[in-house]
Amino acid sequence: MLDGHPWVFANEVEALLPAEHDGEVVECRDRSGRLLGTGIYNSKSQIVWRRLSRERVTLDEAYLRAALTAAIARRGVGPASAGPEGRAGSPGPVEAGPTSAARSAYTRLVWSESDGLPGVVADQFGDAIVLQIQTLAMDKRAAPIGDLLAELTGAKEIVFRNDSNLRRLEGLAMETHTRSGAAWEPRWATIDGFDYWLDLQNGQKTGFYLDQRLQHPTVAKYAAGKRVLDAFCNQGSFALHAARAGATRVLGLDSAFDAISQAKKNAERNGVTAEFVGANVFDWFTAQRDAAPAWDVIVLDPPPFAKSKSALENALRGYKELNLRAMKALTPGGVLATYTCSHHMHDTELRQVLAEAANDAKRRVHVLEWCHQPPDHPVLATMPESEYLRGYILRVE
């Protein structure tokens, strides 16, 4: 924490405060009494203190308004003017605010500590915002946070997706509801030229993986005339972009059969040809082990294998094996787009995994592009955990 990191762990303090301070703002001081900052406290959490400011602050409506206003301004100011209705009622243009260019109607508005709101994640989908709250202090202030987001963005609905397992670490209940009290009905939304069937209240995460939006067209530029495998395809975004870019064959794999069903619906809606199969990706590659290399482009976008530091060693073995199998399945000169969303896995470890996989596959591998989470998921320089998505686009000879 003394090096600027905004967290204090339970084993770093001399004594815990009484439970009456849980979910409230307390000061943190070193042994000499020097103020290290003001933050939110929870004795039930392994992370007992999360800094809000290096100065004295109060977590009131004024603080929340200022933090949310600043977060929105970082992405461009202005309310979205229409909801995510797809072709029948596509999102209209986003109105520009008075001091900045208009933001995208589909963007991450708040990214936890990076925006001074520890445990708060907000994703905008047209005129709806999906709000995740993962800390006790912010959960106690959930209603004003939702009200302020609606006021500042013009959103017609706030969907509270408080169903992340991270809430259990704070002693919080799992729940899903909307600000209005009415169920948010699934509907079509047009994102980057494709229609997607979004279920913001019950779908995976916040409904759509906004952090990979820049990567979809980036990978698609390698797809024309190629055979493309989209592993861990979820709703099929990489596959859809590759198909429209002129791929001769596109296959998407995912072990979540509801995601496969949705991907098929998305492909049909957008008039592109892509096949989607429900399968465990590791098992699928094992079954293809003796087959000749059959793919020109492979996308690996798995869920986080390392959800804790203790799981990192096994996760590294899993990432290596996955990339090794993909490299063996690529034709000479093929392209591998590989990603990790495990914040415990740093770039040096990912590079080492890829180097070991290339060596075992006996393939010469060149880096074509380095990939990273987009600017609407800002990285806090003093908090490595805020940087979680990284990847490489490789040529495998």
Q: Which two tokens stand for residue 19?
A: 């439970």
Asked if residue 230 and residue 283 are part of one domain, the reply reads: yes
Asked if residue 256 and residue 161 are part of one domain, the reply reads: no
> Is residue 199 situated within a structural domain?
no
Domain that holds residue 330: 209-396
> Is residue 196 situated within a structural domain?
no
* CA gap 233, 255 in Å, rounded: 9
Q: Are strands 106-111 and 47-53 parallel, antiparallel or unpaired?
A: unpaired
Which residues are CB-contacts of 159 (< 8 A; sequence separation ≥ 6)? 128, 129, 130, 131, 176, 178, 179, 184, 200, 201
Asked if residue 159 and residue 240 are part of one domain, the reply reads: no
- Phi (first) and psi of residue 321, to 5 degrees: -60, -40
Asked if residue 145 and residue 13 are part of one domain, the reply reads: no
CATH code at 150? Answer: 3.30.750.80
Asked if residue 218 and residue 165 are part of one domain, the reply reads: no
pLDDT of residue 109: 97
> Is residue 195 situated within a structural domain?
no
Each residue's pLDDT tens digit, 346-357: 899 999 999 999
Question: Maximum Cα–Cα distance for the chain, whole Å?
Answer: 67
Could you give the residue ranges of the DSSP H alpha helices within the chain? 61-74, 136-139, 142-153, 215-220, 237-244, 257-270, 281-287, 312-329, 347-361
> Is residue 116 situated within a structural domain?
yes
Residue 329 burial (CB < 10 Å; 0-12/13-18/19+)?
Answer: buried
> Is residue 170 situated within a structural domain?
yes
pLDDT in tens, the chain (397 residues): 667 899 999 999 999 999 999 999 999 999 999 999 999 999 999 999 999 999 999 999 999 999 999 999 999 855 544 444 333 333 333 333 333 345 568 999 999 999 999 999 999 999 999 999 999 999 999 999 999 999 999 999 999 999 988 899 999 999 999 999 999 999 999 999 999 999 999 877 777 899 999 999 999 999 999 999 999 999 999 999 999 999 999 999 999 999 999 999 999 999 999 999 999 999 999 999 888 889 999 999 998 876 667 777 888 899 999 999 999 999 999 999 999 998 788 899 999 999 999 999 999 999 999 999 999 999 999 999 999 999 999 999 9
* CA gap 96, 102 in Å, rounded: 4
| Active-site hit among 28, 233, 341, 371 | 341
- Check if 341 is active-site: yes
- Phi (first) and psi of residue 109, to 5 degrees: -90, -35
Q: Quick one: how far is CA 124 from the chain centroid?
A: 13
Residue among 192, 180, 290, 315 at smallest CA distance from 245: 192
CATH code at 335? Answer: 3.40.50.150
